[in-house]
C-alpha cells in the first residue's frame, strides 16, 4: 500500500518550494518540443482523452455566462478541446499555468480564438471565491507540490454547484498493465530524452504517476476538500482517467 503523499517530489527537491521550482523549470525546458513529444509518446491518444474530458462538461460549456478555468494548461490542448465545444459568445474560458514558456506557446496556438491565458500558480490562484463554474486540469494536477491544497484551491474558486474535472495518468492492471509499464518506465523515458534533448523530465513522468494517489484515495481527498458526487472514469484501460466532483453547496 502507498503511504499518503503530500504532492509531487521531483528528484533533488527538498521541500514544496523547491519541488514547485523544479517542476516549473522542467516544463520550461521541454516547452519547445512538448506538443510533438506528447503526440508521439501517446500515439495521439492524448487528443481522444482531452476530447472525452471536454464533452463531459457540455452542460456547463454551452451556458452563455459560464466561467471556465483550465488549470496547468501548458500549451493549451485541453483548453482548446473545451473551446471547441462552446458556441460563439458562450462560456468564457481561461487557461492558467506557471510556466511562461508553455503559456507563450498556448497563446501563439490560440491566436484568433476567444480563449485567454494567465500566468498563475495553481496553489495560489488570483481569483475571488466562487468565481468559476468549471475547473479542469489535464496531466497537471499530479505535478502540484500539495494535492490537498490544490483541491482546496479548486474548491475555493468554484461557485457552489460548480464542477471539477481532473484528467491524469493511472496505472492499468493485468497483462495490459504489465506491457504498458515496460513502455512507460523504459521506452518512453528513452524516447522522451532523445527527442527533447533534456535528461530528467521523462524519467520524472513514470515516477510521478507511481507516486500519485490511487483513484480511491484521490476520491477520498476530493470528498475531504468539499466535493460531492465524486467519481473516476478510466480511459483506455486505465492508462488515464477522469476524476470528477461537484463543489458542495454550503
Ligand atoms: C504535463 S503538462 C500538461 C499541460 C496540458 N494541460 C496538457 O494536457 O498537455 C503540466 C503543466 O502543469 C503546469 N504546472 C505544474 N504545476 C503547476 C502549478 N503549481 N501552477 C500552475 N501550473 C503548474 C506545468 O507548468 C505544465 O505546463
Ligand 1 geometric centre to CA of 175 (Å): 30
pLDDT above 80: residue 58: yes
Q: How would you classify residue 108: left for phi > 0, otherwise alpha for psi between -120 and 50, otherwise beta? A: alpha
Ligand 1 centroid – CA 153 distance (Å): 15
Residue nearest to atom 14 of ligand 1 (CA): 72
Nearest Cα to 24, choosing from 33, 13, 35? 13
Q: Packing angle between helix 16-30 and helix 201-211, nearest 10 degrees?
A: 130
10 Å Cβ neighbour count for 181? 14
- Say whether 88 sits in a helix, a strand or coil: coil
Give distance in angstroms: CA of 36 to centre of ligand 1: 16
How much helix, strand and coil, in percent to the nearest 5, is found in the chain?
50, 20, 30
Residue 136 CB less than 6 A away from ligand 1: no
Alpha carbon distance 151, 169 (integer Å): 17
Instruction: Measure the CA–CA gap between 154 and 136, rounded to whole angstroms.
Output: 9
- Of ligand 1's listed atoms, the one at least distance from the Cα of 103 is 27
CA dihedral 73, 242, 226, 17 (to 10 degrees): -40
Binned at pLDDT 50, 70 and 90, residue 250 comes out as low
pLDDT, tens digit (0-9, with 9 covering 90-100), for 210-249: 999 999 999 999 999 999 999 999 999 999 999 999 998 7
Residue 2 has pLDDT above 80, yes or no: no
The residue whose C-alpha atom lies closest to atom 26 belonging to ligand 1 is 74
Helix (H, G, I), strand (E, B) or coil at 139: coil
Q: Say which residue the cell 510521478 belongs to.
A: 208
| pTM summary value | 0.95
* Contact 121 CB / ligand 1 (< 6 Å): yes
pLDDT band at residue 197 using 50, 70 and 90 as cut-offs: confident
139 CB under 6 A from ligand 1? yes
Amino acid at each position: 500500500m502507498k503511504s499518503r503523499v503530500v504532492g509531487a517530489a521531483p528528484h533533488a527537491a527538498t521541500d514544496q518550494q523547491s519541488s514547485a521550482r523544479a517542476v516549473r523549470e522542467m516544463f520550461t525546458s521541454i516547452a519547445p518540443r512538448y506538443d510533438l513529444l506528447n503526440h508521439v509518446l501517446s500515439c495521439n491518444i492524448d487528443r481522444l482523452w482531452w476530447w472525452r474530458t471536454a464533452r463531459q462538461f457540455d452542460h456547463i460549456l454551452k451556458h452563455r455566462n459560464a466561467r471556465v478555468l483550465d488549470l496547468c494548461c501548458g500549451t493549451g490542448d485541453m483548453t482548446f478541446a473545451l473551446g471547441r465545444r462552446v458556441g460563439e459568445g458562450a462560456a468564457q474560458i481561461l487557461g492558467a499555468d506557471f510556466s511562461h514558456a508553455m503559456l507563450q506557446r498556448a497563446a501563439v496556438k490560440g491566436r484568433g480564438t476567444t480563449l485567454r491565458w494567465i500566468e498563475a500558480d495553481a496553489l495560489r490562484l488570483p481569483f475571488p471565491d466562487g468565481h468559476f463554474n468549471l475547473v479542469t486540469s489535464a496531466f497537471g494536477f499530479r505535478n502540484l507540490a500539495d494535492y490537498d491544497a490544490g483541491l482546496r484551491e479548486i474548491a475555493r474558486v468554484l461557485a457552489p454547484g460548480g464542477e471539477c474535472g481532473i484528467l491524469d495518468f493511472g496505472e492499468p492492471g493485468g497483462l495490459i498493465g504489465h506491457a504498458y509499464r515496460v513502455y512507460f518506465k523504459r521506452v518512453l523515458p528513452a524516447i522522451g530524452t532523445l527527442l527533447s534533448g533534456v535528461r530528467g523530465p521523462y524519467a520524472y513522468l513514470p515516477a510521478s504517476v507511481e507516486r500519485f494517489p490511487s483513484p480511491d484515495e484521490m476520491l477520498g481527498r476530493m470528498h475531504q476538500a468539499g466535493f460531492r458526487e465524486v467519481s473516476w472514469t478510466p480511459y483506455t484501460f486505465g492508462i488515464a482517467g477522469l476524476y470528477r466532483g461537484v463543489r458542495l453547496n454550503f
